[in-house]
Amino acid sequence: MDQPKPQAYCLRRLNPLNGTLQVFESDHARAFSADGRRWEIQVLSHQPQGLWANTPLGDKAFFRFGIWSAAKGLKQVPINPLFDIQQMIDAAAQLIEPLQLALPHLPFPPGDPYELWSLDENSAQPIALLASVVTDASRQSIEASRWVAAQQGDFSFISPTLSGKQVPNNDSHNPRVHASILEAMVRGRAGPNHRRGWFLRQPGEPVLACDARQSSPSADAFPPLPLSDAWEHPDDCALFEEYLDWKAPRLLQLPQIPDAWRAELEQRAVKSAIEVERCWRLYPKILDKQLLNRARVEAKIRTSAVNE
C-alpha cells in the first residue's frame, strides 16, 4: 500500500513576530525549519520501555532525532538505546527523501487559518495578531492575551522618536524600554480586560468568528499586516513606522500581504541587509528582485569583512 503523501505548510511565528516556520510531516515523522536550510527531524515513537521486560510501552510521542540539511545530510542526536532506533532511522529516511524533492517549492503554503486577534476595546476592530493555529481544537492550547513586540532578551528595537525625546532604551529596571512603550501603546487599545477574539480566515472565504457570542467582521476590517496601521497620535504613528522598519525582513515572509505593502516592506527591509540575507529564502513573493539582490550582496560583503 502506498504511503500517504506528506503534508507541507508554513506556520506564522507570532507574539513576537519572527517570520514563518516551515513544516513537512508524515504519519510517522515531521521536520521543521525556520530558514529553509536546516531542518529539525522528529520521529513518532513509543516512550522507551523500562529496564524490566514487563514494563508496558509508553504512549507515542514525537522525539527529536536529528538535524538535516541538503548540504550536510542528517546529523543524528544521541538517542536513548531503549528506543526502537532502527524504526526511527527508517521513519526519518522516509521523510527526508520527499522533503528533498519539496525544497524547490519553498516556502510552503500557509496552514494556520485560525487567528487570535487583539481587538479594540470600543469598536472590536482587530488591532494585533496574537496567535494562529492549524485546527479549531488547537485553539484551546493558546494562552496569549497581550501583544508582545520583542522577546524579553531582545533589546534591539531602538526607536529614533523615543531616543530623540531623551528616553533611554535601557534604564535601571528595564533593558527594553522602547519595546515596552510600543507594547503599552498596542495593548492600551484593547483595554484593561485585553479584549480579543478568534476568527477563521481563509482566502476567498467570509471571515467566521469562532465564538458564537462574537460577531464576524468583514475581511476588510482586518489590517493588511499583523499590526494595525491606524494610529491617531503622531508619536504612535512614528512608533508603528519604526516597528515596520525593524521587522520588515521578517514581515516579508508572511503570506497574503498585499503587493502595495510588500513593495513598501522591501524598501524598508534592505536597510537591514544581513537580516534580508537570513530571511529571503522564505519570501513567498519578491517584487523588486534587483533591490533585494543588492541587499544580499551588501550582506555578504559586510559578513566577509567581519570574518577576515
pLDDT in tens, 176-230: 999 999 999 999 999 999 999 999 999 989 999 999 888 989 999 999 999 999 9
CA dihedral 122, 124, 129, 130 (to 10 degrees): 70
85 pLDDT band (50/70/90 cuts)?
confident
- Contact assessment for residue 251 and residue 265, using Cβ atoms and an 8 Å cutoff: yes
Evaluate if residue 11 carries a pLDDT over 60: yes
Instruction: Give how far Cα 151 sits from Cα of 90, 130, 167, 273, 296, Å.
Output: 37, 14, 20, 22, 26
pLDDT in tens, 93-125: 999 999 999 999 999 999 999 999 999 999 999
What is d(CA 50, CA 34) in angstroms, rounded to the nearest whole number?
Answer: 35
Could you say which DSSP state residue 31 is in?
Answer: E
Q: Cell 517549492 belongs to which residue?
A: 105
**In the structure grid, which three cell numbers stand for residue 255, read together?**
503570506
